[in-house]
Structure 1
Amino acid sequence: MDSTITMPYDSTTPTVDFSATSTRCATPVNSPPIHVLPLKELAAQKQPIRVELDACEDPKNMSLLHKWSIVTIISMSALCVTCNSGVAPFTESGIQREFKISPEVSILTISLFSEGLGIGPVLLGPLSEFYGRNLVYWSSYACFWISTFPVAFAHNAPVHLIFRFWGGFAGSAFLSVAGGSVSDLFTDASLSTPMAVYTLCPFIGPVLGPAISGAINQHLNWRWTYYVQLIWESAQLLCLIAFVPETHVPTLLRRKISQLRKAAGGPVYIDDSQMMQHGVLQAVVQSCVKPFQLVLHEQMILLLDLWNALILGILYLTFQAFPIIFERDHGYDMQSTGLTFLAIGLGMVISLATQPCWNWFEARKAAGHLDGVPPEFRLSMGKVGGILVPCALLIMAFTSPPSITPVLPILASILFGIGIIYVFTSTFTYLVAAYRPCAASALASNAAFRLTFAAVFPLFAKQMCTRLGTEGALGLLAGLTAVACPLPFIFAKVGERLRGKSRFAI
């Protein structure tokens, strides 16, 4: 590795070049001459030095093809993880018969996995700041893969359910760390599209899962659902190990510092700003406490988290509601019912296709602001999504009775999928823009709320649909989302004032 180190404390201090350690990157033609010091003399330098990555070492300077291949692999890995939550609904009848458990207990196969997804990011996220993205990816995905074996081959319900939780916990790294990898690769100006692609995958997983699981369980034993997942997970793990390099810049710098110290044969004094200031235990404790501090002290974060949690809870509630609407009331078989979930996925893909329009709209707005658009502008997409979600649920409520063609609730599901992505994309980008110093904690609190609701909602879905009917249940949910609909409009008006009073926001 080529290593260029500058000494910023004294402008007369020469740049120290370690080109002897490896092949150099191409040096720009207009670069000033470099005074090369022998490696042995570095140990005698008492003045702190600062290590920098060369142009060819910076992840942002990778080729566009290489960047997108990394984003694709990471996004597909996240898709595989969340798809694992969506495959469970159509396995419930199989595990009820084989393990002799009640329907209420069988629903835990969804809820425990979702709860693992919610808890994991708070603990696994900080580890990537100390050990790099790759070590967390490899270890967490390997544990996720291993946890699927007991789920697939379990001989009793406790083993099956316990490892469903641990599988969700291990796979959750791709809901917290993967976004950091995308930001490692792209500058702020080019981040929107790859981040939108990554954001889509964890949400399309829960609607792709039922389509896969419905087809499998229609013809095969429920265990084949997880056999297929194991094959997919094996392929993703191999791709992660073979094709995804380390992209975390502080980790790359620490590795470079370690190599230079070894090459120098003695102690090398490094600028304090490049050394780890806190231990990993302190970082994990802080990551557990900070999200709760934000929720308790920041009204905007609390309300936006509850809004997002309600919508994701409703998405997971469809795991129980769609079989009632399409399988029981309209006479669809299991495979056809699973395919109806793809309508929500189609809406999500359509929302991604509109991303260039939103990018153009944002660039046009930014042109009128010398200091860039305020964070509240990020809520524009959420305004549209906030209206689409209750409208879609209301249409589903009116068209769900067996006497009405099932095409209409399926079309309404497309609008629901568009609204979901608009709401989540808007909220995520706003939280990052408004709370940049503690963005990771803000997103962690959002994930914890969302996935807790996703774990709870399926538990009462059947009872609610039985007592209220599908029309009443969906109508109630439409009303709840309609109550939350004004949030992006309100915060677009008063958000700047609230941020001015906050000790966490910028």
Structure 2
Amino acid sequence: MSSRSQSSEGRELPQNDSGTLAPEEQQSEKQEKRPDSDDHLVSLDPSEDPLRFSSLKKWLAVAVIAMGSFCVTCASSMASFTEAGMAAEFHVPHEPTILSISLFVLGLGCGPLITGPFSEVYGRAIIYRVSYILLVVLSFPVVFAPNLAVVLVFRFLLGAAGASFLSVAGGSIADMFSGPKVATPMACYTISPFLGPVFGPLIGGFINQHLNWRWTYRILIIWTFAEMVAIFLFVPESYAPVLLKRKAQKMRKGTGDQAYWAPLDRRDTTLTRSLLLSCYVPFKLLFFERMALLLDTWNALLLGILYLMFQAFPIIFEDVHHFNVQSTGASFLGIGVGMGIGLATQPFWNRLAAKAAAEHGGKAPPETLLIMGQVGGVLVPLSLYWFAFTTYPHVHWIVPILASVPFGCGVFFVFTATFTYLVTAYRPIAASAMAANSFLRSAFAAAFPLFAGAMYQKLGTVGATALLAGLTTLMAPLPFIFYRIGPRLRARSKFAV
């Protein structure tokens, strides 16, 4: 399936996920046949163009969106230290309480299949606002839950409500920044959903050391409410087709002339069809594209290991090194420091990308992006081997925490490289490529914590962690392989550029 089509004048037109011309371009073709209606096609003035927003306005929006993503993913792992309290109060074993994390993460994976299409019809800002309203409202049943079943049902719904920040936020940044300027704000956003799970146990450990487990969710309500207010105040609508549609409506109402129109007004694709495509195309990509499947599986394995750590760290640092709850939560800081170091190297990667672009006539091949993934692919297994063989009781506790620093850095490199590569290589269906990645990642992240306790009990801290290191070692060659054969695979692909 070709990703481009030719108009009547010979210019190339982009296609959408279904392989047909994008609605805007279909309408453009129609307008070439009816030039008299071009006078009523609205356009954005420079002051209305999101790309021309002031730097303060754009970066304030990026900061609020990143904090919103951080809050949502932090909520996923804050529950890790509420498990003992829930088990005692509801008189259930510890294992079912782990589902409070797994179901939340599963909701994060399913939500993007819905929120993506809605954002293309109603805009980005309304999706964020509705998401955070739901996050506030749906948190109350968890706080006042009479039994574990209520907690689990609403934790899944909370995950689905917060998923918009994993599917829509990248589009908001691309709306406001273009060309080389998009790399830094995208990196700042990309790190937020991965720092969230790391800082969740730190915050949750402090709360549960001193207060009842329900206070974890009470504090989350306060936090999400503050984020909701910030979103209403500082995150403007940035999706140009929706801005054009609103402007056309305003002009029709103000002038009484019903001829004014925007591309979305004459959109041929219905919302129902868009929803069906958003659920169908990601799985079609996974089934027919081995490169996408392998890279998504690599990402899923790493996120699964990250969420497995929420069960493994208490075993290692509470049982072996006799940490209290608060100190165990602080032990995750090593991963956070590693991610921060990874973000600090972004200027180096920007210069590398600029150099590669200069060598290829102004546009570097997508495979250049995998160089960062190569570094991450080496760092992750090395750090896990280091971590595995320093979990003995006679080894000082700071050593395994130091071992987690390169793990955090490597995870950041892998995710940043893979996300950017998938979006670039599968640009005609970029949203579907990321939805497939998100779904598979969330499925692994939901499943891994469930068997962590049994695995560490059976294999011990050294054996279990070394097994994880071995799995990441098997996946480490992927960025090196696709760096070499990626162009050939993309040339044969029905989906890739």
TM-score (norm 1): 0.90
Going from structure 1 to structure 2, the CA distance change for 1:161 and 1:272 (only over 3 Å counts) comes to closer
> Using the alignment, how far apart are the partners of 1:314 and 1:195 within structure 2?
24
CA deviation string 1:310-332 (max 9, x = no partner): 00000000000000100110011
Contact 1:47 1:269 in 2 (8 A): no
- What residue is the counterpart of 1:356 in the other structure? 347
Contact 2:300 2:444 in 1 (8 A): yes
The partner residue of 1:390 within 378, 381, 400 is: 381
The partner residue of 2:240 within 217, 228, 249 is: 249
> Using the alignment, how far apart are the partners of 1:465 and 1:307 within structure 2?
22
Contact 2:205 2:325 in 1 (8 A): yes
One-letter amino acid of the structure 2 residue matched with residue 351 of structure 1: G
Going from structure 1 to structure 2, the CA distance change for 1:179 and 1:312 (only over 3 Å counts) comes to same
- Correspondence 1:125 to 2:116: yes
> Using the alignment, how far apart are the partners of 1:58 and 1:212 within structure 2?
39
- What residue is the counterpart of 1:309 in the other structure? 300
The aligned runs of 1:211-290 (5 Å cut-off) are 211-268=202-259, 270=261, 275-290=266-281
One-letter amino acid of the structure 1 residue matched with residue 193 of structure 2: P
- Correspondence 1:456 to 2:437: no
> Using the alignment, how far apart are the partners of 1:193 and 1:357 within structure 2?
11
How far the C-alpha of 1:48 sits from its partner, in A, is 6.0
CA deviation string 1:280-328 (max 9, x = no partner): 1110110000001111111110000000000000000000000010011
The partner residue of 1:53 within 44, 47, 53 is: 44
Q: Unmatched 5+ residue regions in structure 2? A: 1-7, 9-35
- What residue is the counterpart of 2:21 in the other structure? none
CA deviation string 1:465-505 (max 9, x = no partner): 00000100010000000000000000000000000001110
> Using the alignment, how far apart are the partners of 1:337 and 1:407 within structure 2?
12
> Using the alignment, how far apart are the partners of 2:331 and 2:138 within structure 1?
29
How far the C-alpha of 1:346 sits from its partner, in A, is 0.8
- What residue is the counterpart of 1:447 in the other structure? 438
- Correspondence 1:174 to 2:165: yes
CA deviation string 1:235-287 (max 9, x = no partner): 00001111211111000000011111112313205476873221111101100
> Using the alignment, how far apart are the partners of 1:343 and 1:230 within structure 2?
27
One-letter amino acid of the structure 1 residue matched with residue 469 of structure 2: A
Contact 1:88 1:110 in 2 (8 A): yes
Contact 1:314 1:477 in 2 (8 A): yes
> Using the alignment, how far apart are the partners of 2:409 and 2:445 within structure 1?
19
Going from structure 1 to structure 2, the CA distance change for 1:338 and 1:491 (only over 3 Å counts) comes to same
- Correspondence 1:196 to 2:184: no
- Correspondence 1:70 to 2:61: yes
- Correspondence 1:144 to 2:146: no
- What residue is the counterpart of 1:32 in the other structure? none
Contact 1:48 1:271 in 2 (8 A): no
- Correspondence 1:379 to 2:370: yes
One-letter amino acid of the structure 1 residue matched with residue 279 of structure 2: C
The partner residue of 1:96 within 69, 87, 96 is: 87
Contact 2:124 2:237 in 1 (8 A): yes
CA-atom RMSD, angstroms?
A: 1.3
- State the secondary structure of the residue aligned to 2:42: strand
- What residue is the counterpart of 1:23 in the other structure? none
> Using the alignment, how far apart are the partners of 1:124 and 1:366 within structure 2?
34
> Using the alignment, how far apart are the partners of 2:257 and 2:366 within structure 1?
48
- What residue is the counterpart of 2:3 in the other structure? none
How far the C-alpha of 1:227 sits from its partner, in A, is 1.1
How far the C-alpha of 1:371 sits from its partner, in A, is 4.5
State, as a whole percentage, how many aligned pairs show the same letter.
Answer: 53
Going from structure 1 to structure 2, the CA distance change for 1:63 and 1:108 (only over 3 Å counts) comes to same
Flag the structure with larger Rg: 1
How far the C-alpha of 1:361 sits from its partner, in A, is 1.3
Contact 2:242 2:264 in 1 (8 A): no
